[in-house]
């Protein structure tokens, strides 16, 4: 299974390799990496860091909006970057302080992500409007191709801004 920590670790290693190249460059050379160095590192960066994931948001009236999300982004970014029209969504800008980014995941996706729920998210979810068994806060859910490709995420009927 391909999980977010692995993706992040791989991305971090790719960035670390680039930093190492810069640090090891002789002082006589410019500090910035050459274009060819950058190209080599970008080619070495796994596709999973830049892969696109297709997600559908379903509104309470049954209408849907399909979006394309960068793997590694969270669902708050997915909504904002794709202009998904959810009134008041993401009011605290992803600081786990509002519950306006409440979304309802398919059960299978929720189960796979269940170990990632923090105490802070649980506390905020308790205050969300229309809480369900598979509710999560969008700002706390990071998109992976494996888990989110083709899934339909439900938008609750209302929001509750806890700030
Ligand atoms: S944006 Fe406020 S809790 Fe997610």
Give the CATH number of the domain where residue 129 resides: 3.10.20.30
Q: CB within 8 A of 49, min separation 6: which ones?
A: 7, 10, 11, 14, 71, 72
For residue 1, the model assigns a pLDDT of 46
- Establish if 125 belongs to a structural domain: yes
pLDDT of residue 45: 47
Tell me which residue has its CA closest to atom 3 in ligand 1: 96
Instruction: Confirm whether 70 is domain-assigned.
Output: yes
Say how many domains are in the chain.
1
* 30 located within any domain: no
Q: Is residue 23 part of a domain?
A: no
pLDDT in tens, 7-18: 445 545 555 555
In a domain, 4, yes or no: no
Q: What is the pLDDT of residue 160?
A: 72
Domain with 58, as residue range(s), is: 52-154
pLDDT of residue 50: 74
Q: Cα(63) to centroid of ligand 1, in Å? A: 24
Q: How far is the CA of 108 from the centre of ligand 1 (A)?
A: 23
Quote the ligand 1 centre to 36 CA distance (angstroms): 40
Cβ–Cβ under 8 Å, residues 94 and 88 = no
Residue 11 lies in a domain: no
Q: What span, in angstroms and rounded, lies between the C-alpha atoms of 145 and 76? A: 16
The answer to whether 7 and 71 have CB atoms below 8 angstroms apart is: yes
Q: Look up the pTM and report it.
A: 0.70
pLDDT of residue 22: 46
Q: Confirm whether 28 is domain-assigned.
A: no
| Exposure letters 61-80 (e unless 16+ CB within 10 A, then b) | eeeebebebebbebbbbbbb
97: in domain = yes
Query: Best mutation site among 139, 141, 159, 161 for ligand 1, i.e. most ligand atoms within 8 A of its Cβ?
Result: 139
Which residues in the chain come in under a pLDDT of 50?
Answer: 1-2, 7-8, 11, 22-23, 27-34, 36-38, 40-42, 44-45
């Amino acid at each position: 299974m391909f999980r977010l920590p692995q993706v992040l670790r791989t991305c971090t290693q790719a960035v670390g390799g680039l930093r190492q190249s810069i640090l090891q460059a002789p002082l006589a050379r410019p500090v910035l990496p050459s274009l060819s160095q950058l190209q080599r590192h970008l080619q070495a960066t796994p596709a999973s860091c830049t892969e696109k994931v297709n997600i559908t948001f379903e509104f309470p009236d049954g209408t849907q909006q399909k979006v394309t999300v960068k793997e590694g982004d969270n669902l708050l970014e997915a909504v904002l970057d794709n202009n998904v029209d959810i009134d008041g969504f993401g009011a605290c800008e992803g600081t786990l302080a509002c519950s306006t980014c409440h979304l309802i995941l398919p059960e299978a996706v929720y189960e796979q992500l269940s170990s990632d729920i923090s105490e802070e998210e649980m506390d905020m979810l308790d205050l969300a409007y229309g809480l369900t068994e598979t509710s999560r806060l969008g700002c706390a859910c990071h998109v992976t191709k494996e888990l989110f490709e083709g899934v339909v995420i439900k938008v609750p009927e209302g929001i509750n801004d806890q700030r």
